[in-house]
Structure 1
């Protein structure tokens, strides 16, 4: 903005400048002038209801609330006049009267903003009578409600309504009876609160505060880091005392702007759990591995004995060498983890390829977005997202399909809800009705397994009605004629009977998406976890390409990553057919490049995926495994089969922070470092490389994962001498063109940089494919997909459809969140969600114990009524070991992505 557009005014006798639309409070803060304020908080809409920030404006008869009054040219303002100061003090004293122990403001919380301003204004007590005491609401495990501290500033209301858009908190009644309420005056634990804690972070007085007493202790230090859970990559700050994390607060990061969800804010104390591994364990001689005993802690613990690090590492090196010399390197395999840092993922896959001599290395992307990545690489030459989640703020139309962001990516969901409040049109397509559907212009509750039919109908309408971007198609794509021919018969009338959506609705959605100025698609594992998952993604890619809705802000394709570093782990090469940066292992040029970089001959045979490895174990071709931070004994399909395979290994090493179900089947267990106990880089779903920093030390003899990986590599004869994380990251930069411009020094200063980042000083590209696609000819490929059914469909014996997934409070296999006290207190027991009509037909009441059965196994758990789950379907989260739902799921694979069909199999429901 040029100088002529600036506004000049007088502030406390000095001439100052303001931006158009800037408030007097903002001007004063920039000029270093303190003005008391309580209802105002940056990022929230100004309310002006506390009046603590009043200032005197000359030639006006009343005082003005500086948080609401905008600067005007020529205005003369006094924040420190006798009149203004007297009013500010009176307001603070009146508010102080509402506090317990109001005669002594120092008795209030140390971070209480009212206390702060009273101290700043030399107010030592209140002359006014205190109001009647308000009973505390301590019903919720995460948040304590003490309305004795409430000043009705409504910051909590605005945080809940406008930031997180959960619409739980309101201001009820009028006058002296006005009160902050949850829903219809419910206790917090009985309300629809999702415990994101945005209200706690917004509250200036502690009326809403963490329920845990330890969270109120003063911290010795604060450490900036990132969240260890989903792929949104929220930045946060740990408050630490000694070697204990007291509490977590959101930090102003590129992906979250200070926001967190219940897991990010309250799911941290798993690191202090009594079940943490603190020393290496070795299986006792003669103790067999019995996969049916995984839930018997006494039997599991008695199977191991403590060992020294020297003994454990020597045993590992000896056994792996023995297997390799006897059976060859392809008899070994490694599973890495998306919970690990980029540096750990990179060294792990390098160890498997150079130490074991095989490409048998994989991780959980095989179980979440492998089909999405396969379709993206095939169609546009890159497996990464085209635009960041926050680009929804620049979109006219947002299409969310096969995803439940309010549960799986809660902070990402807030940006979608914010965009809708600002005028964007939202299309939600899913067999289950999620909370996001209430914000949608169109909600398509299509029949499970009919994704391709639905999407081909949309493609048909767009092509038939000439809503395509012909210029984009001709200049930047190939294969349009084949696509057009493929969908020619996929009329809305023909596809409606398959997908269950009316032809009129299909046409309306197609037109809305195609004709908007900017449409963005976000999808989740409801798209990818099918035997036709790659076809599902192919259709979404075609939607974007034929309409030209890619390569610009507010457009594009975004498969939402499920774990905090699944993007980074994939980038770093934890994929059996890819070196780092998605370079094919069967490509001679790529092989030669990495042989030169690593100074080791490499195999050009693509390795085995997660499920293929389990099959190879039972076939006798894989004999030994090294598993880092992964829990396939809970996450794999057809768990009885997977656990049988793990137990059949000649030698299994598991490196983790708890004795997980997988670790229970190991020969050697290595105690690793939890997320807050290490430093490293992590790449979120937006391709944003962020620095996570160590806040506390590992317990006992637990060691940093990088140290363990390097020690095993050295035991296998590899001459690894990494002395710092920076050395590992620098080698990654040489291996991966996408991050060449990101240096360790830049990350330490900036904490977050997006790739591709071509050279030092480059700010990176948040939006890619702006001019061409990273394919040999620069063009994207349109790949037709035909509708086909799931590998297993319901019948008279197994009449229900099982859908698995995550729930808000728990994450992945539950190894962390089930040991986080607040999270497990909110959702302590396994439940199956069924439509009330199905419960009634089965004579089952909510809360009853039921038995779910498939052709592969059965489990028992509690029934829960859910109108969002369609009749004939059952939804179960996969985080409960005592009701491991993957005992029931099908191991049938997508032929391209090699991903199992977690989202569809046939089951029976029985009342116990």
Structure 2
């Protein structure tokens, strides 16, 4: 996030796109709802009538996979009516003319034709967003999990820069992280092309710094594979072994039938987790790890705030800390990786990570600090880009609409989008063990509009077969006001009716994220 969670509450207008915030980020959603109670405007843009839409000033329903179109449409109106922030654009950005040329063709009428959003709604939201003193954009995986996900995010950044809503309180472009400490994992180099603080592995000077810190020679200059490409390499027989920590791809991966074949090709699979899962069942070796409440350390949350985690309970017999397991393996592979405790690891993080250098264990004893924090006298950076962008001037990207990788047809006439429900977390590795949550949400469901259910002659509770070009599952129908005609929603949590047997594994070419939010399906009554 460029801004803090609390800062959202100070916005004059909050635009939430591709996020079922109340169910996926219930704590953060309270800040948005409080802002509405204070008279702030809320615009929700989502293919479903998610719960947050009940609090919205405006809900716009785009056809799935058309986000670039409505964003360009908003910018078209803002530029046409001279509502953009000309001083901000002149002083802090570049490539504006290229953006202006591209969005010129995205008239409200054309946007309505492609997205289904009424032209007048585009005009009104554009005016409100541009005229707000400070407007905040919040988005989640409804924006990113597309083959054009990277361009979707760039488009939202374009919109915010166009109106000068970056680098100030109440503004910003704020991705809502989907899992605990995923921000911290990325910060620590949990990506195939960077070390900590997003320092490129291809940079020789940076590599030499890490070689000296870790006392090794000739660290690889070539980026590794993203996880989605690893699975494909396993399917092709090129990747022979895999080590998985805290992930359950046998439920969460797209096109599960394809993924299962890929895993069957592996010669050696190691899984490190806190419970048995559908993936540990396939493993040659399983390492039992400690959970968050059984260890000391730090987390970095969605607003870049690094916070202490303190051990609350003892782990079960046989479970080890994640870093202890990794150190023991490293020693057996010939590298003496030894730490006394998590505090020592934290000191190393500060030493090799420029943006964390001032975030010492002692300083965050009583409260977190947001990176970047370059030294111990620095207070941290709650709001990014206050005076300049990381690259200097912000770059406008001129982006054209790209349709989803898969289109509906006579055989598969409905669009499937997937997501989460309030009561379960990811693949239910933890939440399925909680009786009360299973009472509230016991099984998978197929959410459908009243009109579509009526056409099929079906109702809530009827069992249906849902099929795509990749697989088929059976689940109960749920007729809901949240659904709109032609679009079906399914949660992906349930292994017994895994929505990811249906989803498309086509990837965004930059981020390598699969297109989990759009695929073509058919629904039929179960025999």
TM-score between the two structures when normalised by the length of structure 1: 0.57
Q: Shift in Å at residue 599 of structure 1?
A: 2.0
Report deviation, 1:724.
Answer: 1.0
Q: Deviations over 1:648-693 (max 9, x none)?
A: 1111111111221111111011111122111221111111111121
Partner residue, 1:873 = 487
**Higher mean Cα deviation, 696-705 or 575-584?**
696-705
Deviation at 1:700, TM superposition (A): 2.3
Equivalents in 1 of 2:260, 2:194: separation in Å?
Answer: 27
Distance 1:689 1:617 in 2: 35
CA contact (8 A) 2:297 2:343 kept: no
Tell me which residue corresponds to 1:851. Answer: 465
Task: Give matches, 1:205-354, under 5 Å.
Answer: none
Deviation at 1:821, TM superposition (A): 2.1
Instruction: Return the offset for 1:751.
Output: 3.7
For 1:830 and 1:682, the matched residues in 2 are separated by 31
- Check whether the contact 1:571–1:580 (CA below 8 A) recurs between aligned residues: yes
Which one of the candidate residues 393, 397, 406 is aligned to 2:22? 406
Equivalent position of 1:622 in the other structure:
239
Query: For 2:180, what is the secondary structure of its paired residue?
Result: coil
Looking at structure 2, the residues matched to 735 and 664 of structure 1 have their Cα atoms a distance apart, in angstroms, of: 37
Kindly indicate whether residue 310 of structure 2 is the aligned counterpart of residue 693 of structure 1: yes
Looking at structure 2, the residues matched to 652 and 789 of structure 1 have their Cα atoms a distance apart, in angstroms, of 37
Post-superposition shift, 1:763? 2.0
Shift of 1:554: 0.3
What's the CA shift string for 1:123-160, capped at 9, x where partnerless?
A: xxxxxxxxxxxxxxxxxxxxxxxxxxxxxxxxxxxxxx
Q: Contact 2:236 / 2:262 at 8 angstroms: preserved in 1?
A: no
Deviation of 1:833 after TM superposition, in Å, equals: 0.8
- Distance in 2 between the 1:692 and 1:681 partners? 5
Which residue is 2:445 aligned to?
831
Q: Trace 1:367-386 onto structure 2 (pairs within 5 A).
A: 385-386=1-2
Could you tell me how far apart the structure 1 residues matched to 2:505 and 2:171 are?
Answer: 35
3-state secondary structure, aligned to 1:823 = helix
Matched, 1:899 2:513: yes
Which residue of structure 1 aligns with residue 368 of structure 2? Answer: 752
1:709 & 1:822 partners in 2: Cα distance? 35
> Aligned partners of 1:679, 1:641: CA distance in 2, in Å?
38
Tell me by how many angstroms 1:779 deviates: 0.7
Maintained 8 Å contact 1:656/1:669: yes
Tell me which residue corresponds to 1:153: none
Alignment of 1:454-603 (within 5 A): 454-600=70-216, 601-603=218-220
**Cα distance in 1 between the residues matched to 2:457 and 2:297:** 53
- 1:638 & 1:570 partners in 2: Cα distance? 25
What is the CA-CA distance between 1:647 and the residue it aligns to? Answer: 2.1
Query: How far apart are 1:828 and its partner, in Å?
Result: 1.1
Which residue in 2 is equivalent to 1:788?
402
1:815 equivalent to 2:429? Answer yes
Q: CA deviation at 1:527?
A: 0.5
* Residues in 1 aligned to 2:213 and 2:91: alpha-carbon distance in whole angstroms: 38
Once residues 721 and 672 of structure 1 are traced to their aligned partners in structure 2, the CA distance between those partners, rounded to angstroms, is 18
| 1:590 Cα deviation after fit | 2.0
Q: Deviations over 1:714-745 (max 9, x none)?
A: 11111111011111111111121111111111
What is the total number of aligned residue pairs between the two structures? Answer: 525
Question: Structure 1 residue 814: deviation in Å?
Answer: 1.1
Q: Residues 801 and 874 of structure 1 are in contact (CA less than 8 Å); yes or no, is this contact kept in structure 2?
A: yes
Q: CA deviation at 1:610?
A: 1.3
Q: What is the distance in 1 between the residues matched to 2:475 and 2:522?
A: 13
Q: SS where residue 339 of structure 2 aligns? A: coil
Deviation of residue 566 (structure 1)? Answer: 0.7
Any idea what the Cα deviations from partners look like across 1:604-631, whole Å, max 9, x if unmatched? 1111111110111122221111111111
- Which structure has more relative contact order (CA 8 Å, sep 6+)? It is 2
SS where residue 506 of structure 2 aligns?
strand
Deviation at 1:522, TM superposition (A): 0.3
Instruction: Please report how far the alpha carbon of residue 891 of structure 1 lies from its aligned counterpart in structure 2 after TM superposition.
Output: 0.5
Alignment partners' CA distance in 2, 1:589 and 1:783: 30
- Pair 1:450-2:62 in alignment: no
In structure 2, the residue corresponding to 1:545 is in which secondary structure?
helix
CA–CA separation in structure 1 for the residues paired with 2:504 and 2:231 = 14
Residue equivalent to 1:420: 36
- Kindly provide the CA deviation profile for residues 540-570 of structure 1, in whole angstroms up to 9, marking residues without a partner as x: 0001111111100000110100111110000
Matched-pair contact (CA < 8 Å) for 1:400–1:427: yes
1:605 aligns with 2:219: no
| Counterpart position of 1:679 | 296
Q: 1:711, CA displacement in angstroms?
A: 0.8
SS at match of 2:364: helix
Match of 2:455 among 841, 858, 865: 841
* 1:805 pairs with 2:422: no
What is the aligned partner in structure 1 of residue 248 from structure 2? Answer: 631
Look up the match of 1:396: 12
Deviant stretches of 4+, over 3 Å: none
Q: Distance in 2 between matches of 1:494 and 1:831?
A: 35
C-alpha separation between the residues in 2 aligned to 1:787 and 1:910? 32
Give unpaired runs (5+ residues) of structure 2: none
Residues 235 and 259 in structure 2, CA contact (< 8 A), matched pair in contact too = no
Task: Give CA deviations for 1:26-83 in whole Å, capped at 9, x if unaligned.
Answer: xxxxxxxxxxxxxxxxxxxxxxxxxxxxxxxxxxxxxxxxxxxxxxxxxxxxxxxxxx
Check whether the contact 1:538–1:784 (CA below 8 A) recurs between aligned residues: no
Larger radius of gyration: 1
- Following superposition, the deviation at residue 501 of structure 1 comes to 1.3
Contact 2:83 2:163 in 1 (8 A): yes
Q: Distance in 2 between matches of 1:390 and 1:700?
A: 40
SS in 2 for 1:893: coil
1:252-293, Cα deviation, whole Å (9 max, x unpaired): xxxxxxxxxxxxxxxxxxxxxxxxxxxxxxxxxxxxxxxxxx
Q: Distance in 1 between matches of 2:337 and 2:227?
A: 27
CA distance in 2 between partners of 1:440 and 1:474 (Å): 33
Gap regions ≥5 residues in structure 1: 1-384
Superposed displacement of residue 848, structure 1 = 1.4
Correspondence for 2:324 = 707
Contact 1:805 1:875 in 2 (8 A): yes
Deviation string, structure 1 residues 147-183 (Cα, Å, up to 9, x no partner): xxxxxxxxxxxxxxxxxxxxxxxxxxxxxxxxxxxxx
